[in-house]
């Protein structure tokens, strides 16, 4: 007769699918794993989105500063008087010329300061706290100087056709309808719509 040995049953085997300790911690394990994965994915997506947002805002500010620099160059050229020979030559060639600005020392000083504030060679484009603060300060100061110059010259910021606008049209009535009919045209001359 052959001897039969019976193997004892191992109830605590790690490969046992019905192990109660792993079933009891299954929810916590899945939650912890999913939370860690979500946090890392969210962090990465947040960095990407933040970088894109920062680049967009930086580009908008740089474009605004470039526009102000261009306006300072045009105002500077218009503030200088040209010789009559050059002006006659341009008129003979059919070139249209913007009108010269009056000789005003305050205007010249403000245009010079605006030009120096917006000159791209004078500011840093590094991504440091100090450089960003300096850049933001320049954008703010240049915008204020442009408004001062606009008031001296009598122009507004932008006109619909791209040409320099002269003054603001105030109290313009859009419709010659009867008074008090409660339509939007009644508010055409209102201060609230400016």
Supply the pLDDT for residue 168: 46
Supply the pLDDT for residue 185: 52
Rounded to 5°, angle at Cα 66 from 64 and 71: 95
DSSP bridge partners of 155: 166
Give CA–CA dist 18/79, Å, rounded: 89
Under-50 pLDDT residues of the chain: 1, 160-162, 164-175, 177, 187, 192-194
Supply the pLDDT for residue 167: 46
Supply the pLDDT for residue 118: 92
Give CA–CA dist 125/132, Å, rounded: 8
Supply the pLDDT for residue 64: 92
Supply the pLDDT for residue 90: 63
Nearest to 142 by CA among 111, 187, 179, 175: 111
Residue reference for tokens 């030559």: 89
Q: Taking the model in full, what pTM does it have? A: 0.58
Using the 8-state DSSP alphabet, how is residue 186 labeled?
Answer: G
């Amino acid at each position: 007769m052959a001897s039969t040995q019976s193997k004892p049953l191992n109830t605590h085997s790690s490969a046992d699918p019905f192990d109660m300790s792993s079933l009891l911690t299954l929810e916590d394990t899945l939650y912890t794993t999913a939370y860690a994965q979500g946090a890392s994915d969210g962090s990465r997506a947040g960095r990407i989105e933040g970088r894109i947002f920062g680049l967009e805002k930086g580009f908008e500010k740089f474009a605004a500063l470039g526009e102000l620099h261009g306006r300072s160059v045009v105002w500077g050229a218009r503030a200088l008087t040209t010789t009559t020979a050059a002006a006659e030559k341009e008129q003979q060639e059919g070139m249209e010329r913007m009108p010269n600005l009056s000789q005003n020392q305050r205007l010249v000083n403000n245009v010079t300061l605006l030009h120096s504030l917006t000159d791209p060679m004078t500011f840093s484009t590094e991504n440091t706290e100090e450089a960003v603060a300096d850049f933001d300060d320049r954008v703010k100061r240049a915008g204020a100087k442009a408004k001062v110059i606009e008031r001296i010259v009598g122009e507004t910021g932008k006109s619909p056709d791209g040409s320099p606008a002269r003054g603001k049209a105030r109290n313009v009535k859009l419709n010659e309808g009867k008074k008090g009919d409660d339509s939007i045209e009644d508010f055409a001359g209102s201060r609230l719509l400016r």
